[in-house]
Structure 1
Amino acid sequence: MIKNVTVIGAGSWGTALASVLADNGHHVTIWVRDPKLAEEINTKHVNGKYLPDVKLSANIVASVDLQEAVTRKPIVLLAVPSHAMRQICRQMAPFLDPQVLLIHATKGFELESLKRMSEVIMEEVPTSISSRLAVLSGPSHAEEVVLRQPTTVVVASESEESMLRSQDLLMNANFRVYTNPDLIGAEIAGALKNIIALGAGMSDGLGYGDNAKAALLTRGLAEISRLGIKLGAMPPTFAGLAGVGDLIVTCTSKHSRNWRAGYMLGQGKKLEDVLEQMGMVVEGVRTTHAAYALSRREDVDMPIASVLYGILFEEKEPRQGVEELMRRGKTYEMGYLDPNGA
């Protein structure tokens, strides 16, 4: 059935998801802040800033009016940076249809409160809406999705109806969607993998080889799982698309902003210069700050996150951080043998 769907956010990911929805025959409104970008999408059917050289469907219409974009829409998909989530939800909440299906595709934490995106959204929209909230996660670079390259993701929700509706809405021959009831795990895995991707980029920037990256991904996943389970996630989620799947693609791909930022840091560039050169949000930087604070609050050992925090915010040299990790005390590999081991 054809739906009128609104996508909030016209970055690369929001635009790619709008393209998936348009491919499925839906009428898509994409909300943008920049009037010039809205005009470009509406007249030229391109998003030159984020996805140049990709022609967008005529079924995608841009709007700069948030109220107009969400009013009477049965489905709203949020693809905005984590730091903007609360403000956007607060602004649009009065205009949402009480029966709207709300889906978010943002991977990060609110830095000030250390809350997951679903927790932020639930505080800003009516309970009747938040109880049906779904999250989209998994290995899915926008640059490949918009070119209709095979991609597999997962949608998670505490509402089975929301999972199944989201799956039906998004799934097609190029974009396969699985369901998972573990909303907490999907969010935590999707956010924390960006930290490890920064580390993977640093490893490559330092000139280390495949052995180092394999160790980083494996032990990084152990840290992600350890914190996630402490916060209420289901262990199998971290072995799935939102966990190891997203971790692999983000740590090894040329499309990964976090990997590229880490690579430049490994080459000796300063964080402020890297972020300026990137010109786009690098969620892993904020997430490292949040993960470090969460690990201390929850008393969970996260040595990789702690070292990356030191490199990003305390001027620790990347090579020094690697030496600290390698010289740590002896421990078991498996958490069931030593729950605090890393």
Structure 2
Amino acid sequence: MIGILGAGAFGTALAVALGQAGRQVRLWARDARTVAQMQETRRNDKVLPGVDLPKTVSVHAEIAEIGGGEAVLLAIPMQTLAGALDLYPEIGQGTPLVACCKGVDLTSLRGPVALIRDRRPESVAAILTGPSFAVDIARGLPTALTLAATDRGAELQDLLSTPTLRLYRTDDITGAELGGALKNVVAIAAGAVIGAGLGDSARAALMTRGYAEMVRLAMALGARPETLAGLSGLGDLVLTCTSTQSRNFRFGLSLGQGTGFDPSITVEGVATASAVLRLAEARGVDMPITAMVDALASGRIALNDAIGQLMSRPLKQE
């Protein structure tokens, strides 16, 4: 049995994919009304309209009911991960915990695996990340992800792979975490470029220089550059910077267009930009695009001023 903490779009999509592959899945949702609705309709139409839950997926309101299996997937936002682990001590207890979120914790400046290890030292900690939209996974469209783990990685890879969900394994947890986190920041910038009408050439340049920032910080923190060139880095960057399915890209679009954005939608890249800048400054890593995203998102700078500052930086060798 596989437990999934969080019945948002990604958690529900993973439940569907694993259930369709014959896995027994227990999906937990925080809201009792959501649980009742999903139990009755066998759907989660709020986040994945029209997608039926397989018979092997059960939906639960009691947190204790999703533990005790082969693994628990933590499909909750990065900035709530630490609080959830503290609030629900029954989750884990020796069961492998796989983070399915992307970002850097604002309080500790640590990634999801470090947060899990701090709070569940007896459990194997891993992260599942890479280029994926929930709706594609739920529809059974071919998707490839990275599973980063230093222990029991092959076992978890076999457990979580399906005919339509192909997992590649790495032991470079830092690289996988940072690729997934930092691409959201670049996606906000890419969205702002398109929203402001600056064109696809500008977006391509932004993505390339943003990728350079990702690699610089990741290597400064001990990651391997080849990890950033893989699914969890470059692959996720391409997807997130080129599709309006990406919440971070859409948020950037709103910045570029000068329009409002729904505050109820989680945009992980905003918090990540703030946290990453603190990490970069402590290690002397130059991240001008990240700095501009942080300033734009907080309203400290106007878009035209941000573009001007980036374009007027000293010329240098690539």
- TM-score bracket for the superposition, by shorter chain length: over 0.9
Query: Which position in structure 2 is the counterpart of 1:9?
Result: 6
From 79, 86, 92, the equivalent of 1:90 is 86
Deviations 1:83-117 (A, max 9, x none): 1111211233345342x122111101111111111
The TM-score with structure 1 as length reference comes to 0.90
From 151, 159, 174, the equivalent of 1:169 is 159
> Displacement, 1:62?
1.3
Query: Which position in structure 2 is the counterpart of 1:42?
Result: 39
Query: Which position in structure 1 is the counterpart of 2:316?
Result: 331
Deviations 1:49-91 (A, max 9, x none): 1111212212221112112322x22311111011111121123
Between the aligned partners of 2:193 and 2:267, the Cα distance in structure 1 is: 17
Matching of residue 310 in structure 1 with residue 295 in structure 2:
yes
Query: Which position in structure 1 is the counterpart of 2:185?
Result: 195
Matching of residue 144 in structure 1 with residue 139 in structure 2:
no
Between the aligned partners of 2:316 and 2:89, the Cα distance in structure 1 is: 49
**What letter corresponds to residue 124 of structure 1 in structure 2?**
R
Check whether the contact 1:73–1:97 (CA below 8 A) recurs between aligned residues: no
Check whether the contact 1:24–1:170 (CA below 8 A) recurs between aligned residues: no
Query: Which position in structure 2 is the counterpart of 1:206?
Result: 196
> Displacement, 1:288?
1.1
> Displacement, 1:264?
0.8
Matching of residue 249 in structure 1 with residue 239 in structure 2:
yes
Between the aligned partners of 1:149 and 1:95, the Cα distance in structure 2 is: 30
Gaps of 5+ in 2: none
**1:1-342 correspondence runs (5 A):** 4-70=1-67, 72-94=68-90, 96-98=92-94, 100-125=95-120, 127-129=121-123, 132-159=124-151, 162-269=152-259, 273-276=260-263, 279-333=264-318
Deviations 1:199-230 (A, max 9, x none): 11101100011110111111101001100111
Between the aligned partners of 2:13 and 2:76, the Cα distance in structure 1 is: 13
Between the aligned partners of 1:251 and 1:49, the Cα distance in structure 2 is: 25
Between the aligned partners of 1:169 and 1:191, the Cα distance in structure 2 is: 25
Deviations 1:152-202 (A, max 9, x none): 11101112xx22122111222211111111111000110110000001110
Gaps of 5+ in 1: 334-342
Between the aligned partners of 2:316 and 2:88, the Cα distance in structure 1 is: 49
> Displacement, 1:150?
1.0
Check whether the contact 2:288–2:310 (CA below 8 A) recurs between aligned residues: yes
Would the alpha carbon gap of residues 228 and 95 (structure 1) be closer, same or farther in structure 2, given more than 3 Å must change?
closer
Identity %: 36
Between the aligned partners of 2:90 and 2:199, the Cα distance in structure 1 is: 52
Check whether the contact 1:202–1:262 (CA below 8 A) recurs between aligned residues: yes
Between the aligned partners of 1:253 and 1:236, the Cα distance in structure 2 is: 24
RMSD of aligned alpha carbons: 1.3
